[in-house]
Amino acid sequence: MTSIDVRNLTKEYRGRQVTRAVDGLTFRVEPGRVTGFLGPNGAGKSTTMRLVLGLDRPTSGTATVGGRPYVTLAEPLRAVGALLDAQAAHPSRTGRNHLRLLAASNGLPERRVAEVLDETGLADAAGRRIRTYSLGMRQRLGIAAALLGDPGVLMLDEPANGLDPEGIVWIRGLLRRLAAEGRTVLVSSHLMNETSAFADHLVVLGRGRLLADVPTRDFIDAHSQDRVRVRTGDPVRLRAVLRAKGWTVGEAPDGDGRWVVEGASAEEIGAATAREGIPVFELAGERASLEQAYLALTAEAAQFTTRTAASPAASPQEV
Amino acid sequence: MSATAVLRSEWIKIWSVRSVAGPLVAVLVSALAIALVTFPNIGREQAATEELDPLFWLYYPLNFVQIAAIAFGATAASSEYLNGALRNSLAAVPRRGLFYGAKALVVGALALAVGVVSGFVMFFTANAFLGEYAIGIGEPGALRSCFGAGLYLALIALFSMGLAFLLRSAVAVLSLLVPFILIVSFVVVGFSEGVAAWLPDRAGQQILYQEHTGPLGPWTGIGVTALWAGAALLAGWWAVRRRDV
């Protein structure tokens, strides 16, 4: 089966200063699983996808699909289906004509147009002009275009963007099914929780560089620490006992007498307090949010960090 | 990837967007409409004037018809730049030469076909109202002028298409070419007859004249316009080839 191979890929834009949108990127997207392509806005996800499709030219490095540069593929829609920008369609065309002309260019049979319209739930809207479509419908049309050639590789840039909750459930199921059929599926997003719900593997970018290329399970295990919340009648002894075992205890943020033990499971704390006879009123294990782990990973590489500047209007003025 | 498949795709592109197909239809409609407005009123009176080439007078509507041809070429190209539609087009047809060549061929062929029909429409409509000044289709240069009008319109459409790919905007091309053809061309004639003869519109329109007094004949004239169109197409190709989309 076909994989996407990105090797030492670099893309620089020359303006007043040279900006590196993609910086020495190397990774491979394997068939048979959904790969989540993560990173904050401006991390280089869309640029990488455009480079794979030959729409942008790399400054150096290569990107291939099944070992061949995309531009050398004879009928590329049969090999790779891509959704880059759901807005990228002429608004005066009908959805059906948009798909018809794409199908015609790659010698795809006309019936594929009807099939993908059905599959994406657009059959009723196919005769309407794209300008009348909602964002979610445009997104579905973009996905329909990607599926047109029944390709072995799918590359979708933020496909859930603008979809309603029902649509999000639909797209998750579709991505899982496409991967289960043995296809290579690369899906970009800037939301970790959303992506971890359907991706088997994660490729994380920050400032154009590769930050992680790991199975989703491993990422979750490595980056989201266990912790335990405990409410006790004897915090002093609890602290002493846990400290002796190498755990640190801090007061929970809500500060209503609960204590938080980082890096421990509820079973371990339960056993320890029982042995020492410390009264425990409440005991709950929880995991630090995956989103937080992801934000921590990308924080130093973040392009656009939010700064809270004092507003001039709020500062007192001296007269 | 077969060239015929890409040609079919370009064909659908043109007929599925009103702002592109509209100007093409307008070439034919305006040829008939302007001829019908002009010739019953001032057709014979003008044909009687000495300094006017009798054959060229039949193509008076071309002054307006060519604006529709310009709009057709410009919108056929600029529709690719609306909302980044070009990204879809080049993802489907990544060989940019094939994409560009197919578009030029479809635009050129359609403009030629509609242009030739318009040429005959202008010729016969005008003649119907000219009485003793009418020119038969068998007279010298008559048949040549009918086909020549189509050739001229096709070259003007391609000239405009090339510029639109370079400038990525139909508005830019229209605001450049329409004043050029309606005003600048006349102003240059005032300055220098010699230079004006080589302008894309003046040179190509030689194919519509019976008498040739300038430096260019009917075929050398249309050849000069073909060079202008070729240069614009090359400039557009240079832009499509090297730009990231």
Q: pLDDT tens digits, chain B, 245 residues: what are they?
A: 689 999 999 999 999 999 999 999 999 999 999 999 999 989 888 888 878 899 999 999 999 999 999 999 999 999 999 888 999 999 999 999 999 999 999 999 999 999 999 999 999 999 999 989 999 999 999 999 999 999 999 999 999 999 999 999 999 999 999 988 888 877 887 777 788 889 999 999 999 999 888 899 999 999 999 999 999 999 999 999 988 88
Cβ-nearest to B92 among A56, A87, A105? A105
Which of A53, A105, A110, A157 should be substituted to probe chain B, the one whose Cβ sees the most B Cβ atoms within 10 Å?
A105
Name the CA dihedral angle for A269, A273, A275, A276, rounded to a multiple of 10 degrees. 140
Of A54, A56, A102, the CB nearest to B94: A54
Chosen from B16, B95, B243 to mutate, greatest number of chain A CBs within 10 A: B16
The one-character DSSP state at B203 is: H
Among B16, B79, B83, beta carbon nearest to A97: B16
Give the gap in angstroms from C-alpha A155 to the nearest C-alpha of chain B. 12
B31 contacts B54 by C-beta, under 8 angstroms: no
Contacts of B106 in chain A (CB under 8 A): none
Q: Profile chain A (319 residues) by mean pLDDT over runs of 10 residues.
A: 92 89 96 95 93 96 96 95 90 96 97 97 96 94 97 95 92 96 95 89 94 90 78 84 83 71 84 88 78 78 47 39
**Shortest Cα distance from B16 to chain A (angstroms)?**
6
Q: Are the CB atoms for B58 and B122 separated by under 8 Å? A: yes
Chain A residue with minimum CA distance to B6:
A105
Angstroms from A138 CA to nearest CA on chain B: 12
Facing residue for B9 by CB, picked from A55, A90, A101: A101
**Residue numbers in A near B84 (CB within 8 A):** 85, 87-88
Angle, in degrees to the nearest 10, between helices B3-15 and B18-47: 70
Give the model's pLDDT for residue B6.
97
Q: Do A89 and B79 touch (CB under 8 A)?
A: no
Among B79, B85, B94, beta carbon nearest to A70: B94
Closest CA to B188 of B205, B208, B202: B202
Q: Distance, in angstroms, between B19 CA and closest chain A CA? A: 8
Angle made by CA atoms A267, A268, A274, in degrees to the nearest 5: 90
Q: What is the pLDDT of residue B163?
A: 97
Map tokens 């016969």 to a residue.
Answer: B124
Closest in A90, A97, A105 to B85, CB measured = A90
Partners of residue B75 in chain A, C-beta under 8 Å = none
Are B18 and A70 a contacting pair at CB < 8 A?
A: no
> Are B9 and A55 in contact (CB < 8 Å)?
no
Q: Which residue of A has its CA nearest to B80?
A: A90
Q: Taking Cα atoms as reference points, which of B184, B190, B205 lies closest to residue B119? A: B205
Which residues of chain A make contact with B83, given a CB cutoff of 8 A?
87-91
Cβ within 8 Å, pair A88-B79:
no
**C-alpha span between B9 and B102 (Å, rounded):** 9
Asked if B245 lies within 8 A of A87 by C-beta distance, the reply is no
> Is B1 within 8 Å of A107 when comparing Cβ atoms?
yes
Q: CA-CA distance, B74 to A166, in Å (whole number)?
A: 42
DSSP string covering chain A: ---EEEEEEEEEEESSSEEEEEEEEEEEE-TTEEEEEE--TTSSHHHHHHHHTTSS--SEEEEEETTB-GGG-SSHHHHEEEES-TT-S-TTSBHHHHHHHHHHHTT--THHHHHHHHHTT-GGGTTSBGGG--HHHHHHHHHHHHHTT--SEEEEESTTTT--HHHHHHHHHHHHHHHHTT-EEEEEES-HHHHHTT-SEEEEEETTEEEEEEEHHHHHHHHS-EEEEEEES-HHHHHHHHHHTT--EEE-TT-SSEEEEET--HHHHHHHHHHHT--EEEEEEEE--HHHHHHHHHHTT-SS----PPPTTTSPPP-
Shortest distance between the Cα of B80 and any Cα of chain A, in A, equals 8
Determine the pLDDT at residue A97: 97
What pLDDT is recorded for position A201? 96
B56: tokens are 């060229």
How far is it, in rounded angstroms, from Cα A99 to Cα A103?
A: 6
**A23 Cβ contact partners less than 8 Å away, ≥ 6 residues apart:** A10, A44, A207, A208, A209
Nearest Cβ partner for B83 among A73, A90, A105: A90
User: Which among A73, A92, A101, A102 is the top mutation candidate for probing chain B, defined by the most B β-carbons within 10 Å of its own β-carbon?
Assistant: A101
Query: Predicted ipTM?
Result: 0.90
Look at residue B182 in the predicted model and tell me its pLDDT. 80
Closest CA to B70 of B187, B222, B235, B229: B229
Taking the CA of residue A38 and the nearest CA in chain B, the distance in Å comes to 22
Which neighbouring-strand residues pair with A82?
A155
CA distance A107 to chain B (A): 6
**How many CA atoms within 13 Å lie on the side-chain side of A292?**
5
Cβ separation B93–A93 shorter than 8 A: no
CA A83 – CA A146 distance, rounded (Å): 6
For residue A109, the chain B residue with the least C-alpha distance is B5
Q: What is the pLDDT of residue A141?
A: 96
Q: Give the pairing of strands A80-83 and A153-157.
A: parallel
Whether the CA torsion A288, A291, A295, A298 is positive or negative: it is: positive
Q: What pTM value is reported for the model? A: 0.86
How distant is the Cα of B112 from the closest Cα of chain A, in angstroms?
Answer: 23
> Is B84 in contact with A87 (Cβ distance < 8 A)?
yes
Residue of B nearest to A101 (CA): B9
Residues of A in contact with B91 (CB under 8 A): 53, 55, 76-77, 82, 84
Q: How many angstroms separate the CA of residue A303 from the nearest CA in chain B?
A: 22
